[in-house]
Structure 1
Amino acid sequence: MRLLFAVFAALLLSACASGDAPSPPRTVAAVDLQRYQGTWYELARLPMFFQRNCVQSEARYSLRADGAVGVRNRCKTASGEWQEAVGEAVPQVEGRTDKLWVRFDNWFSRLFPGLTRGEYWVLYLDDDYRTALVGHPNRKYLWLLSRTPAVDAATRERLLGVAREQGYDVSQLIWRQP
């Protein structure tokens, strides 16, 4: 597990060192973190090393008294084992809730806290806070999220359309397995 988090941190660092990149994706105007908290199921994601064995993933967000968002990610492997990572999210810019820094609590992040935070940009959020797109500005990472483990075809196509418009390669998505 420690190796997993160390590799994740290295991926984040390499993502930050990109050369001439297109303009960053657009985010939502603001996220009401009170409404955003709760459980989100991953419908699909772009490949990411630390999730390589996941067939189902979910995230639970909770507001903390200090203003940060508590993060608890769970991943079910093909063998049925659940793995969990606990962390926190804080705004990248004070008062803006559409772009967050996420950091998971592990030995590596305690040693190098500035190096192990990942960018969590909310790219789309429906009015009812039922579906969302979250990505990294380098467009290498993307998650399609829902309050339910599955969505109808129209909702799925809407999420895919927004992702394509934002410049994400949806042909590489890994979909949640039943």
Structure 2
Amino acid sequence: MPSSIPTSFDEQLAAAQRSAVHLEMRDAYYSNPRFEAWLKGERVDWDDRASWWRPFHQDIADAVARGVQVRRARVVSEPVTDYIRWEHYQTRANVDAGEQVRWLPRRDTADLLMPGCDFWIFDDRVIRVHNFSGAGDLLGEEFCDDPALVELNGAAFERVWDRAVPHDQYEIR
């Protein structure tokens, strides 16, 4: 990996000037305390921003404020898993931070060529590929600026994005 590529998400997002796109394709990811609390019936007090606003949300808001278009597409199986139900619920925080989020039922992807890994692409120049275990644990990430790899995955993202349903219109099934 060339040393000129920032090796953290925060650095990549801070360096982005035009776009940051994220494709998620798993039905469950590693568990975390907020998901566990949601399973027990706890809900976010959306009026108490300090209780749910995280540094990630601020990073997204800062990027959007400087003109970066941040888009996230989620490919999901239906009926959805509890994890996806929780993601849909908490996506309000992403949207409030300025992300555009869309959902695509997996059944509507049969004619799309899709990558095998989740990823972020920054300014159509650098890709951050996520490697997960079967249980959803993050095993690592790789940054790459190979134009062919970025273009291939970027085109896949755009096909998903064009077909996906905006967050405020997607109904959990």
More strand by share: 1
TM-score range, shorter chain: under 0.3
More helix by share: 2
> TM-score, structure 2 length as denominator?
0.28
